[in-house]
Every structure is written in structure tokens, then in C-alpha cells.
């Protein structure tokens, strides 16, 4: 029992003594009932909201109370606030600023093993170009029921320590993060490989993030070894590297209803069953979505505007059973879709418009036949508005493609609609080009010689 609770208990006991006299004269059952009443009252007092101003230091408040309140005011935080008690709740007045000073690295550090509720409504957390974390939840074992909301952290645009996060969730389960805003977090002077993250989720499970706003950061969100993460209703703007970076062992990540603007790459995934749905990608300087090693993933109902490439890969790892469906792609400056190791996947029902000079609108390629097998490009609408693209759909590579289909597409305007060719090797084998509609198209179909068993409509 804390010193504060001991004092509270003694005070309550004295009140009872004043009313009924010496407790030693009571019967045993009466004593037991009275002690239970005292303990219950002490518990209720401990759970009652306590202002940090009631204690000599902020840390003393967190050491002795479980429901802590910061009244309006400006607080310089010179030592990290350690949250060690389970079932802690933290809340703030309507106008509170906490500023990191004295070179501390974390404003709040939560290592407790139980439920934790942190509502930052009314508060702003100034990292003051020194602290790396607004709050870190970093337990030694997996903890459940973490709820963090209404956090506004800012002012850390210079170099952070590598691999740090403004908000860190580590070894947690059943986490809710709502209305999180991080502004100016280590976009400047950071060396690739020593990056920092606006939000870092590590070794956790079942994390739901809603209303996330990150501006001017190196990496927006990093997810590592954390299955079942949902990010919904978000905005990531001016991101130096990746908007959302899904590393390995993080299956079933769902990213939906958001905007990623001015990132190098919007979403990068190394994990299976990644879903990106109803997300708008604007002016991403490399790719909107990057496949590095993923299977059974789906990218649908997204809008890509003025990206270098809307959806692509690095040509290192194979991705299979990918569904790219129902997207709108406008004016990519290089390719709309460029995949070098894609198999057994579907690109369907997309609307692609290009009014700028590009290479191919869709290009599937590979150095061996196994790099481009069993893919279907179907029911898409292509409009190469100025007829400046090399082609709308190209299958190519050292060994071309195997058992893939280009069917049911509408080519509104194009110089070349479909191109199959082989710069070397055996070329494209057993492919189908059928049932497409060619409107204002100069050349419906182009191919290099030596192709094997390619079935196509008459050009």
C-alpha cells in the first residue's frame, strides 16, 4: 500500500473511532465488516481523479494515484514521467502544454502490466527538438486494453535518435489509438537506415488506429511483427520516406479511407494479406504502393494522382495472388503499374488515364518465366490521352510471360494497345489476348518475333 493510501486509511479509521469508540470492543464479525468498508472506501478514493497539483511532483502523483488530471497550464517536464501502476488513467484540462526540457528522451513512459487509458484532449506535447517520444508503451510482457486518444505531439523536425517513435506501442494487445496528430517529426537531417516513425507498432496484436494525422515526418507509420493492425481515416503529408511501412510477420494489416501526399512511397508491404482500400495517393515521388514480399493482398478503390508509379515492386521478391481492382490512376509520370515478380494475380476493373509522356502504362516483366506466370489483366479502361505512352499493356522480360491473359479491356485512345515482346530468351508462351475493345488506337497489337502459342484477336 502506498504512503498516501496508508494516510487515507488512517484518517478514515479515525473518523470511525470518533463515531463508535474503540474498535477492539467490537465483535469479530463487526470488525471484519468495518475493515471491508474501510478498504472499499480507500479504493474508491484512490480511483477518484487527482490533480497533479495536489502532489509535490508530477511523478509523485503517478506513484500514488491511478486517475491523474493535468489542469490548465504550462508544464516543463525535466524528467520522464514513469507510469508503473496498472489500470492508470490520464486526462487533461482544455489548455495544457507539456514541454520536454533537460534533454529527456520520453515525456511519458508506460511500463505497467494492465489497462491504460490516456486522453490528451486539450493538451499539446512539445518535444522541443530534444525528446523522441510523446508516449512509449513498452512492457516486458504482452499487455492488453490500451486506449490512447487526442494526442498532439510536435516540434521534433531535427534529427532524432534512430528507430524512435513519437508514439510507440510495443508488446500490446487490443489497442485503440484515436485522433492522433504528429507534426514536424524528424524529417530533416535523418540518414536512411536510421529513420524515425511518427507512430511505431512493434510485437503487438489487434491495434486499431483512427483519425491519424502525421505531417512532415521521416516515416509516417511503421508496423513490425504485429498482425491485425487497422488504420482508418488518416492523413499522411510530406513524408520523406514511407507513409505506412509494413515489415515482416505483420499479416492482415488493413489501411483504409485515407490520403498520403508527398511521400517517397505511400505504402510498402513485406507481409501477407495486406489490404489497401479507398486511399488516395497524391504526388508520391517513387511509388504509391510497393510490393516487396506479399501474397494474397488486395489493393482496391484507390486513387493515384501524379505519382511516379502507382503500384510497383523492387524486382527482388516475388508476390503472388494479388488483387488490384477498381482503382483510378491518373497521370503517373513513369508507369501506372510496373511489376517484375508477379504471379497468379489479377489486375481488373481499373480506370487508367495518362496525359503525360510515360513508358508503358502497365508493364509486367521478369528475368525468368517464373517471374510472370498466370496473371490476368481484364476489364480495365485505358486512355492514353495524347498517345505518348510506349503501350497500354506490355508483357516482356528476358523470358517474357507464361499463361497470362489480356482480355475484355477497353482501349479508348492509344498509340499501341498491347505489346508482347522478348529482348532475349524464349519470349512469351501460352498467353491470351482476347475480347478487347480498341477505339482510337493506332496499333492494336505489337509483338517481337518468335513468340510461342500466343492467342489473340486479329489486329
Say what the pLDDT of residue 446 is.
85
* Range of weakest confidence among 255-259, 328-332, 357-361: 357-361
Cell numbers found for residue 338: 510496373
pTM, two decimal places: 0.88
Say what the pLDDT of residue 374 is.
87
Query: For residues 424 and 241, what is the distance between their CA atoms, to the nearest angstrom?
Result: 35
Closest CA to 360 of 318, 406, 295, 316: 406
Instruction: Give residue-wise pLDDT tens across range 127-176.
Output: 999 999 999 998 777 777 899 999 999 999 877 778 899 999 999 999 99
State the Cα angle at 261 between 334 and 383, rounded to 5°: 40
Say what the pLDDT of residue 1 is.
47
Domain that holds residue 14: 3-45
Residue 401 lies in a domain: yes
Query: For residues 366 and 449, what is the distance between their CA atoms, to the nearest angstrom?
Result: 18
Closest CA to 210 of 146, 168, 258: 258
Residue 170 lies in a domain: no
Query: For residues 196 and 263, what is the distance between their CA atoms, to the nearest angstrom?
Result: 15
Q: Are 201 and 178 a contacting pair, CB within 8 Å?
A: no
Asked whether the predicted pLDDT for residue 298 surpasses 80, the reply is yes
Cell numbers found for residue 120: 490528451
Residue 385 lies in a domain: yes
Residues facing 324 on adjacent strands: 299, 347
Cell numbers found for residue 413: 485512345
- The per-residue DSSP string of 108-132 comes to EEE--SS-EEEE-TTEEEE-TTT-S
Q: Report the number of distinct structural domains present in the chain.
A: 2
Q: Are 402 and 437 a contacting pair, CB within 8 Å?
A: no
Asked whether the predicted pLDDT for residue 4 surpasses 50, the reply is no
State the Cα angle at 133 between 132 and 138, rounded to 5°: 125
Residue 174 lies in a domain: no
Query: For residues 233 and 202, what is the distance between their CA atoms, to the nearest angstrom?
Result: 21
Q: Give Cβ neighbours of residue 286 (< 8 Å, ≥ 6 apart).
A: 264, 265, 308, 309
Say what the pLDDT of residue 188 is.
75
Q: Are 393 and 360 a contacting pair, CB within 8 Å?
A: yes
Residue 384 lies in a domain: yes
pLDDT tier for residue 330 given thresholds of 50, 70 and 90: very high
Asked whether the predicted pLDDT for residue 437 surpasses 70, the reply is yes
Residue 373 lies in a domain: yes
Query: For residues 69 and 92, what is the distance between their CA atoms, to the nearest angstrom?
Result: 5
**Total Cβ atoms within 10 A of residue 78:** 12
Query: For residues 14 and 307, what is the distance between their CA atoms, to the nearest angstrom?
Result: 73
Cell numbers found for residue 202: 512493434
Residue 90 lies in a domain: no
Residue 435 lies in a domain: yes
Place of cell 489548455: 95
Instruction: Give residue-wise pLDDT tens across range 203-225.
Output: 999 999 999 999 999 999 999 99
Asked whether the predicted pLDDT for residue 47 surpasses 70, the reply is no
Amino acid at each position: 500500500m502506498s504512503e498516501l493510501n496508508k494516510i487515507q486509511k488512517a484518517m478514515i479509521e479515525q473518523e470511525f473511532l470518533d463515531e463508535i469508540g474503540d474498535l477492539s470492543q467490537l465483535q469479530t464479525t463487526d470488525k471484519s465488516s468495518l475493515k471491508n468498508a474501510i478498504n472499499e472506501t480507500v479504493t474508491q478514493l484512490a480511483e477518484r481523479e487527482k490533480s497533479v497539483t495536489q502532489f509535490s511532483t508530477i511523478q509523485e502523483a503517478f506513484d500514488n494515484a491511478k486517475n491523474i488530471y493535468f489542469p490548465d497550464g504550462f508544464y516543463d517536464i525535466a524528467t520522464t514521467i514513469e507510469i508503473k501502476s496498472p489500470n492508470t488513467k490520464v486526462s487533461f484540462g482544455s489548455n495544457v502544454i507539456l514541454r520536454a526540457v533537460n534533454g529527456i528522451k520520453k515525456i511519458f513512459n508506460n511500463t505497467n502490466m494492465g489497462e491504460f487509458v490516456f486522453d490528451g484532449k486539450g493538451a499539446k506535447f512539445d518535444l522541443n527538438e530534444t525528446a523522441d517520444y510523446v508516449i512509449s508503451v513498452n512492457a516486458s510482457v504482452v499487455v492488453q486494453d490500451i486506449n490512447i486518444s487526442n494526442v498532439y505531439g510536435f516540434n521534433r523536425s531535427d534529427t532524432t535518435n534512430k528507430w524512435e517513435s513519437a508514439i510507440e506501442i510495443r508488446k500490446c494487445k487490443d489497442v485503440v489509438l484515436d485522433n492522433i496528430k504528429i507534426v514536424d517529426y524528424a524529417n530533416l537531417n535523418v540518414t536512411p537506415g536510421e529513420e524515425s516513425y511518427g507512430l511505431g507498432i512493434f510485437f503487438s496484436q489487434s491495434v486499431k488506429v483512427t483519425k491519424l494525422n502525421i505531417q512532415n515526418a521521416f516515416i509516417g507509420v511503421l508496423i513490425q511483427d504485429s498482425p491485425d493492425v487497422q488504420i482508418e481515416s488518416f492523413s499522411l503529408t510530406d513524408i520523406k520516406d514511407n507513409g505506412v511501412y509494413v515489415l515482416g510477420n505483420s499479416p492482415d494489416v488493413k489501411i483504409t479511407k485515407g490520403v498520403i501526399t508527398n511521400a517517397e512511397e505511400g505504402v510498402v508491404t513485406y507481409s501477407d494479406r495486406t489490404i489497401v482500400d479507398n486511399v488516395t495517393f497524391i504526388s508520391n515521388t517513387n511509388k504509391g504502393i510497393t510490393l516487396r514480399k506479399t501474397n494474397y493482398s488486395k489493393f482496391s478503390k484507390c486513387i493515384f494522382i501524379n505519382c511516379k508509379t502507382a503500384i510497383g515492386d523492387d524486382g527482388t521478391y516475388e508476390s503472388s495472388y494479388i488483387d488490384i481492382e477498381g482503382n483510378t490512376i491518373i497521370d503517373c509520370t513513369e508507369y501506372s503499374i510496373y511489376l517484375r515478380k508477379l504471379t497468379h494475380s489479377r489486375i481488373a476493373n481499373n480506370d487508367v488515364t495518362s496525359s503525360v509522356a510515360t513508358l508503358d502504362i502497365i508493364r509486367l516483366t521478369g528475368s525468368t518465366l517464373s517471374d510472370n506466370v498466370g496473371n490476368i489483366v481484364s476489364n480495365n479502361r485505358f486512355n492514353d490521352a495524347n498517345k505518348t505512352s510506349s503501350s497500354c499493356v506490355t508483357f516482356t522480360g528476358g523470358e517474357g510471360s507464361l499463361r497470362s491473359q489480356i482480355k475484355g479491356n477497353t482501349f479508348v485512345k492509344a498509340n499501341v494497345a498491347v505489346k508482347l515482346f522478348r529482348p532475349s530468351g524464349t519470349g512469351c508462351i501460352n498467353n491470351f489476348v482476347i475480347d478487347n475493345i480498341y477505339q482510337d488506337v493506332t496499333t492494336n497489337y505489337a509483338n517481337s518475333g518468335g513468340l510461342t502459342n500466343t492467342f489473340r484477336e486479329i489486329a
